[in-house]
Structure 1
């Protein structure tokens, strides 16, 4: 009996230490992200997964960061390979926490990445997943900024599709899905309200306003965007794009 109690106490103590270690690694990963060291952050999340393979946060963050880092690669094959890895993390996150808004967002953002490097039926399938999983994330958390952004991006992409991609989408969706610049702008604006520092949202919102012939609104959005502090490694490049676009409108 004495040894059984000691064994239980030892196991409980080990679990506490284990949880503390994971918490410490998450804090380190979050610090690396704040310091704009995304590769270091990703490696910390991988360290967590080595000891806790079903940690939902580590999985969806690994999916997000792998996709973002991969998206900066110039070689399309290497970029697609990174998207495949991101997809594996995202689906694992969804399996571990299907009712988690971030896990659903991770699948949606990975589908969005693939939609940029595919065409025809394959792109149509990714656009479908992009919408479905963004919608699922928003059912769980209506104020999920990144899912709102993806919803806006989906509308924007559907409106601008070429004839071949539209034909593939019609077949997959059983007709052309309802999408509009109005809906894109509404979602982008909601994303901006939910997270005023989401730089990519500002740039796509400005482009949507330009397509909508609202140059005044685009200028207003871009003027706010270029004053934002960077929060991802992409943000300095996005800010440069915003400044160039702003200069072309004035």
Structure 2
């Protein structure tokens, strides 16, 4: 169990592929900047892409696409820091941009998705009560994202992690959740978590993070066959970043362990 939670920064999705924001905002003169930022993001140059998205926001503070993606990138980049001050700075900006995007279009999948990411990021850096509160808050945004786009892979991934966390709360967390939120934790199971992440894989079959997380859930469920099959598939995926290479290395180690048991 400890291994699984260590590998799961709760709720937060670090390696989701870049999403496509549907709504448009800001002046048409920013189109070239947005195209440049998208190219950088597609090339996994997150920091460079973030600079360009924020440049767009300096000129058009209500540009919905830039707000969504800047929030997404701040959440993603925040997890790469061990320094808490820098992590907090990115998390705060992620929430700021998410709030602004949500204010513009509260029914769109992307605004709800980045709200879920940013709320989850803040929860990780908060106390026990605030962390539990953030977990419950994330669920409402994930549900809204999937209501707007049932094929949103990133939202399905977050939902899977949410189900896993709620299914595996410790005794104190369960008691606090029941007291604060009416016992919502009782409705989630590890199978719910696995089913949700399987959906994420259907809609984005080349994201190794999804396979790694799913394998960890199957491992927790003692489903060795499904765990091995998931890891085997993960090792066939193309790898483009250092993070993906590290996940592939972990998959190889876990697969070898499962085959030896």
2:249 aligned residue: 240
1:166 aligns with 2:174: yes
1:55-66 equivalent positions in 2, closer than 5 A: 55-66=63-74
- Superposition RMSD on alpha carbons, in Å? 1.8
Establish whether residue 228 from structure 1 lines up as the match of residue 228 from structure 2. no
2:54 and 2:78 map into 1 onto residues whose CA distance is 16
Matching residue of 2:18:
none
Q: How does 1:40-55 map to 2 (within 5 A)?
A: 40-55=48-63
Question: Does residue 70 of structure 1 match 2:71?
Answer: no
> Is the Cα contact below 8 Å between 1:55 and 1:96 reproduced in 2?
no
Gaps of at least 5 residues in structure 2 are 1-25
Deviations, residues 157-189 of structure 1 (Å, cap 9, x unaligned): 112222222222222211243111111011001
Equivalent positions of 1:130-169 (< 5 A) are 130-169=138-177
Show the counterpart of 1:85: 93
- Residue of structure 2 equivalent to 1:125: 133
Aligned to 1:25: 33
Distance in 2, matches of 1:183 and 1:168, equals 22
1:237 Cα offset (Å): 2.7
- How many residue pairs end up in the alignment? 233
Q: Quote the offset at 1:42 in angstroms.
A: 0.6
Contact persistence 1:200–1:238 (CA under 8 A): yes
Please give the alpha-carbon distance, in whole angstroms, between the structure 1 residues aligned to 2:71 and 2:240.
Answer: 17
Structure 1 stretches of 4+ with a deviation exceeding 6 A read: none
More helix by share: 1
Distance 1:230 1:57, change over 3 A: farther
1-structure distance, mates of 2:85, 2:176? 23
Q: Of the two structures, which has the highest relative contact order with CA contacts closer than 8 Å and spacing of 6 or more?
A: 2
User: 1:119 touches 1:165 (CA, 8 Å); kept in 2?
Assistant: no
Give, in whole Å, the separation in 2 of the partners of 1:172 and 1:144: 30
Q: 1:170 to 1:94 in 2, by over 3 A?
A: same
Aligned partner of 2:204 in structure 1 is: 195
For residues 100 and 223 of structure 1, the distance between their equivalents in structure 2, rounded to whole angstroms, comes to 35
In structure 2, the CA distance between the partners of 1:119 and 1:179, relative to structure 1 (3 Å rule), is farther
Structure of larger gyration radius: 1
Distance 1:125 1:47 in 2: 33
Contact 1:37 1:233 in 2 (8 A): no
Extract unaligned runs of 5+ from structure 1: 1-17
TM-score by length of 1: 0.87
Q: CA deviation at 1:98?
A: 0.9
Q: Is the 8 A contact 1:120 1:164 kept in 2?
A: no
User: What is the deviation of 1:231?
Assistant: 5.7
Q: Normalized against structure 2, the TM-score is what?
A: 0.83
